[in-house]
Every structure is written in structure tokens, then in C-alpha cells.
Structure 1
Amino acid sequence: MVAIIWLVGAVLLAAGEALSGDFFLLMLAGGALGTAGVSAVTDLPVWGDAIVFAALSALLVLSVRPVLLRKFASPPAVPMGMEALTGKSAVVLEDVGGQSGRVKLDGDVWTARALDSTETYEVGMTVTVMKIDGATAVVWKGL
């Protein structure tokens, strides 16, 4: 009978987590669920169940919650500015070699140079921006 009470408590705590979203109530729900299992298998008094609940909840809060917060609490990094240009396609406007050239990238004209200094990309070719070096797009024909 006591195990069912702990199980109901676990469900209610998990439902409360849906409203808060900070993973604290979810850890308490895990402690209650574990206590329900221990209570079903053993015949501990209520204070024994309370100690099991406290120990399991503390273990989850201190070990699992920080991992979950790191994984889910911070938004994924979105490339901004020049970092966002890496991997984009550009059209060659002026022959691009190891030292000079021009490409049209995202509607803007950029100075460019080839990633492989032995290659030359002709006007009209589509190239891929490998990196931005200062104000110069370093491009390659692949990808």
C-alpha cells in the first residue's frame, strides 16, 4: 500500500516538472519512484522510506541534474556574422587563384583566394567558402 502512495507521488512530481522545466521535480520523482520499488520489496517503516527517498533524490539532484541542465538548458550555438558564411556557395566573378580573385557571396562581392594555391577557379564557377580570413573568402571547388 505504501509503495502505491510513493508511485502516485512520483507521477505527481513528474507532472509538476512539466510546468517548471528545471529538472528538480523530475529528480524528486525519480527518488519517489525508487522508493516505491524499495517499499514494494522490503517492509521498511515510513521513516526508512523517507531516508531512502532523501538519499535517492539527493543522489539524482547532485549527479544527474547538472548533466541534464548542461545538455538541455543552453540553446545550440548559432553561427553569426562571418562564421555563418563558412560552407556557403559563392559564384566566381573574377578568376580566383592562390593570391587574388573575387566572388559573389550572399549578395556581396568579396575578395577571394583559393584554398589550394595551385588551383584557379574561372568566372562563373560555383565554389564553397571554406573560411573567412580577414576580409578574404578562402574558397574551394568541392562540396
Structure 2
Amino acid sequence: MEPWVAWLLVAALLGIAEMFTLTLALGLLAVAALAAGLAGALGLPLAAQVAVFALGSLAGLVVVRPIARRHIAQPPPLRSGTAALVGREATTLTEVNRQGGRARIGGEEWTARPYDPDLVIPAGAVADVLAIEGATALLYWVSSSDEEQP
């Protein structure tokens, strides 16, 4: 068997192994074996093929793999827009019931209604924003014993 064919087989086996392990290392070794196979197909001697494999492996594992791992391990994207308001506190400016009301969230005034349609939130109460539907904040409020309910 020609050496370049052996390199292609090694590349295929390493590529398959990479699919099962997802370590990024075996895939880079497969690319280096593919480069060595290409060098063999071009007629370079076995020593040159081994050198191509060694240099390709070293470059892949030392340079490419750390960069790829950093890109994979990036933190989740920051929430922005209305998604950033979910989970924040809102202060009701008017009574909030199923027909509506007004609340201040992060310095902005929003239309609001309770998440539970049977709930009535008095003016001045601090509630949690559970969702945003269009331009309306859906609020949840738990009354405490020192606050009076209407």
C-alpha cells in the first residue's frame, strides 16, 4: 500500500474518532494526516510526509485548538431590549389590574397588567417583571402583611 493512502486512512479514522469525542484534538490530527497524505501523493518521500504531519499536528494543537476552544466557550450573549427587563423590579405608579395600569421599570414608564388576571396590584407596590408582551409589562406581586390590599 502506498504511504499516502495510509495517511488518508489515518485521517479518515481520526475524523470519525473526533465525531465521537468532540475534543478538537483528533480532528486537527486528521487534518495533519490529510496534509501528509497530500504530500505523499505529490511524490515527497516518507520522511517529508512525517515532517508535514508533525508540523501540521503541532500547529493545530498549539495554535488552532486554543483559539477554537476560546470561541466555543464564550459566555452567553447579553440580554438587551425587552428581554433585559424580565426579572427586574417594577414600581407601580397606578393600580394595576386586568384592564391595565402604569409601572416604572428601570427609570421608564410602562403600561402594565398583572400576570395573574385576578390579581390587583396597588399603586406604589414593588412587583417583579415576569414577561413583556408588546409594550406591556406583566407583573407579579406578593402582598406582605404590612401593606394594605384594596
Compute the TM-score of the two structures, normalised by the length of structure 2.
Answer: 0.54
| Cα deviation, residue 73, structure 1 | 4.1
For the 8 Å contact 1:35–1:53, the answer to whether it is kept is: yes
1:36-63 per-residue CA deviation (whole Å, 9 max, x = no partner) reads 0011112313x33222211111111122
Distance 1:41 1:95 in 2: 73
| Cα deviation, residue 78, structure 1 | 6.9
| Cα deviation, residue 72, structure 1 | 2.5
1:39 aligns with 2:40: yes
Distance 1:16 1:95 in 2: 56
> Aligned in 2, Cα 1:128/1:60: closer, same or farther, shift over 3 Å?
farther
For the 8 Å contact 1:92–1:127, the answer to whether it is kept is: no
Structure 1 unaligned spans of 5+: 112-125, 130-143
Partner-residue secondary structure (3-state), 1:22:
coil
Compute the TM-score of the two structures, normalised by the length of structure 1.
Answer: 0.57
Paired AA for residue 13 in structure 1: L
Identity within the alignment, %: 25
Aligned to 2:3: 2
Alignment of 1:39-58 (within 5 A): 39-45=40-46, 47-58=47-58
Distance 1:67 1:33 in 2: 21
Structure 1 stretches of 4+ with a deviation exceeding 3 A read 73-79, 99-103, 108-111
1:107-126 per-residue CA deviation (whole Å, 9 max, x = no partner) reads 28798xxxxxxxxxxxxxx6
Q: Compute the RMSD of aligned alpha carbons.
A: 3.6
Paired AA for residue 101 in structure 2: L
For the 8 Å contact 1:24–1:65, the answer to whether it is kept is: yes
Distance 1:25 1:60 in 2: 10
> How many residues were matched structurally?
106
1:65 aligns with 2:73: no
Distance 1:95 1:75 in 2: 32
Aligned to 1:104: 112
For the 8 Å contact 2:100–2:113, the answer to whether it is kept is: no
* Greater C-alpha Rg: 2
For the 8 Å contact 2:35–2:56, the answer to whether it is kept is: yes
Aligned to 1:93: 101
